[in-house]
Amino acid sequence: MHFDYTSLGIAYSVVVCAAVSYLIGSIPFGLLIGKMKGIDIRQHGSGNIGATNVTRTVGRGWGKLCFLLDFLKGALPVCIVSALVIPDSGETVVPVIVKFFRTFVNGHQIFSDPGGILPCISGLAAVVGHIWPIYLKFKGGKGVSTAAGAILALNPLSLLSAGAVWVIVFFASRYVSLASILAAVSMPVFCILYRITGIAQAQKPEIFLFFLLAALAVVKHTSNIKRLRAGTESRFERPGKKVDAEMVELPSISNSKRKTFKAAVLGDGAWGTALAMTLHRNGHKVMVWGAFPENVVHVNQVHENDKFLKGPKIPADLVFTADLAEAVNGASMLVLATPSQYLRGVLKKLKPLLKPDQIIVDIAKGIETGSLLTMSELCRQELGETHYVALSGPSHAEEVALNVPTLVVSASKNPEYANFVQQAFMNDYFRVYTLSDIIGVELGGALKNIYAIAAGIVDGIGMGDNTKAALMTRAIAEMSRLGKRLGGRVETFSGLSGIGDLIVTCMSRHSRNRYVGEELGKGRSLDEIIRSMDMVVAEGVKTCEAACELSERYGVDTPLIHGIYAILHDGCKPDEVIHKLMTRKAKKEDE
């Protein structure tokens, strides 16, 4: 069987070659390697599925294997298509490679190829498949390894020359992104140069392909280019090696010459105010933006935020403002301290003011109702790719403001950003750990508010320690089960942002969510309780709606969340829900 050398035959040849090459290129080897190691590679390091992130996350050996597999899925389609091209219809692939592959197809020629375009189309389709893979909802890697494989099959001399550029730039700078960009851009230059000098006979389709691949490389590295210009791009380090402190630009916490900067806290609630005070004590210039002008004026006059955080005095040079642009302008770090259900509106206002090099630190703990997005997903939807960090842990604002020893975690896919935030906040009473599991940290901080409502109900009804201990234990199991299904790591829920935050929120007199539950247990209605709180937000009420819907969407068993939802939104009596939970079918504890 073969496609005739006619317009229709050529069209069929192009479609078949492009489709098959695209599907081969779409195979996500980096993701599959991560799955073999028990992780989702997209939730670690840079979040990329390429060889560089595999190396960072699971080791050099696996990174080399990923590079080889991604390389082959670019080279093999080009070689196989070239071996199946009808003779004399044109070919651009190195003849010895074509001859080698033709031994496997017994001389059968299938495709009609005018002027050697099919191998180039196959190479391009494989790269597009890696960048926008159908198997991963069109969210893949940057395509450098796959492009290198396709180019080796087409023009090995240009690849070797560009490879030399990559090696020189990489070892000189330690920036994988910069090396990849310059190598890709140099490829068509070498191709044209060798054609002009007669060193290698590159045909026009190859040159056109190399320009396309160079353009794709630049487009896919846009965020890297912004970070390179801002000086915040990640240098490549071997797994286990300490992050280059120069990238963070903040020395050890013990160094009295800590570099300071301007920080903007977007939200004048209790937690935003407490963290603004922490940053101020660390020597940073801090400005707090508040959505209510009258409260801003009041705080600046009396130096106390008695609407949201009664008691602690606010330093006179810690300025509150109702002008978002004034707060954001010149700030190196923006702390998102707005309640989760109002964050989208603030992000829309923030977007035209945001600079590419500003660090985004989210401290809101919730899941947006309707969209069911976590705060990192919401920020990505509204702001695009940013330098995002989630800060969470067992930390009541009332105690942080009074210098009570507190431990939290700074989570980011990029370790430099997590370390930057760690150094910015950390001091003798506020200790910060780092982590890469953003999803786990965010879900731990959001879901614990739901269980705190249940703990309050237990207190309001008058049940004992046995009941609350059982509730918190099963809450951790349920939280971990749902969190793992949504992409978090189980061990994260055993840490500060999981069990740590759950304990403090379920037990503390400062907990607004526990207060709501306690009042429900005493018989008050939810509407009455919310009105009496005078704009102080209990995140767990809305988060319960989102979590309930998420558990149903992903088929995760969450009897506690559903039980709390029934009390909050369906009008069920607490004792009825507790009886239903206690009389469920007997199970093993680890189910």
Of the ranges 87-91, 384-388, 479-483, 508-512, which one carries the lowest mean pLDDT score? 87-91
Q: How confident is the model at residue 202 (pLDDT cuts 50, 70, 90)?
A: low
Contact by Cβ (8 Å): 390, 433: no
Please compute, for residue 366, the number of CA atoms within 13 A of its CA located in the half-sphere on the CB side: 25
pLDDT of residue 262: 94
Strand order through the sheet with 430-435: 319-321, 285-289, 262-266, 333-336, 359-362, 387-392, 406-411, 430-435
* pLDDT of 251 above 60: no
Of 3-7, 61-65, 248-252, 393-397, which gets the smallest average pLDDT? 248-252
pLDDT-derived band at 131 (thresholds 50, 70, 90) equals confident
Distance CA 521, CA 516 (A): 9
pLDDT in tens, 388-422: 999 999 999 999 999 999 999 999 999 989 999 99
Q: Quick one: pLDDT at residue 238?
A: 45
Cα–Cα distance for residue pair 4/110, rounded to 1 Å: 8
Residue 43 confidence (pLDDT)? 63
Give 8 or 238, the one with higher predicted confidence. 8
Task: Give the residue from 357, 370, 358, 356 showing the smallest Cα distance to 266.
Answer: 358
- The pLDDT tens digits of the residues spanning 73-128 come to 988 888 877 777 655 444 444 455 555 555 554 545 555 555 567 788 888 898 88
Strand duo 262-266 + 333-336: pairing: parallel
Evaluate whether 361 touches 387 at the Cβ level (below 8 Å). no
Give the confidence band of 173 by pLDDT, cuts at 50, 70, 90. confident
Task: Convert the pLDDT of each residue in 342-357 to its tens digit.
Answer: 999 999 999 999 998 8
Structure confidence at residue 240 as a pLDDT band (50, 70, 90): very low
Q: Kindly report, residue by residue over 8-25, the tens digit of the pLDDT.
A: 766 777 888 889 999 999
Concerning whether 37 is annotated as a catalytic residue, the answer is no
Q: Which two tokens stand for residue 165?
A: 């550029």
Position 218 confidence tier, pLDDT thresholds 50, 70, 90: confident
CA–CA distance, 423 with 405 (Å, rounded to integer): 16
Rounded distance between C-alpha atoms, residue 398 and residue 273, angstroms: 10
For the chain, the distance separating the N- and C-terminal CA atoms, rounded to the nearest angstrom, is: 55
Residue percentage of the chain with pLDDT more than 70: 85
Least confident among 104-113, 332-341, 386-395, 500-509: 104-113
Distance, CA of 446 to CA of 513 (rounded, Å) = 11
Which of 119-123, 208-212, 290-294 has the highest mean predicted lDDT (pLDDT)?
Answer: 290-294
More confident residue, 143 or 585: 585
Question: What pLDDT is stored for residue 242 in this prediction?
Answer: 38
Alpha-carbon distance 399 to 453, whole Å? 21
CB 405 within 8 Å of CB 224: no
What value, to the nearest 5°, has the Cα angle with vertex 377 and ends 375 and 379?
70
d(CA 207, CA 117): 11
Question: Residue 254: pLDDT above 50?
Answer: no
Confidence grade of residue 231 (pLDDT, cut at 50, 70, 90): low
| Position 172 pLDDT exceeds 50 | yes
Q: What is the mean pLDDT of residues 548-568?
A: 93
**Among candidate residues 322, 360, 558, the one with its CA nearest the CA of residue 451:** 558
Q: How far apart are CA 431 and CA 409, in angstroms?
A: 8
Catalytic option among 365, 413, 448, 542? 448
What is the signed CA dihedral for 34, 39, 43, 44, rounded to 10 degrees?
-70
Q: Which residues contact 102 (CB under 8 A, 6 or more apart)?
A: 83
Q: What are residue 564's phi and psi, to 5 degrees? A: -65, -40
Helix (H) or strand (E) holding 435: strand 430-435
Among 68-82, 106-120, 229-243, 544-558, the range scoring the smallest mean pLDDT is 229-243
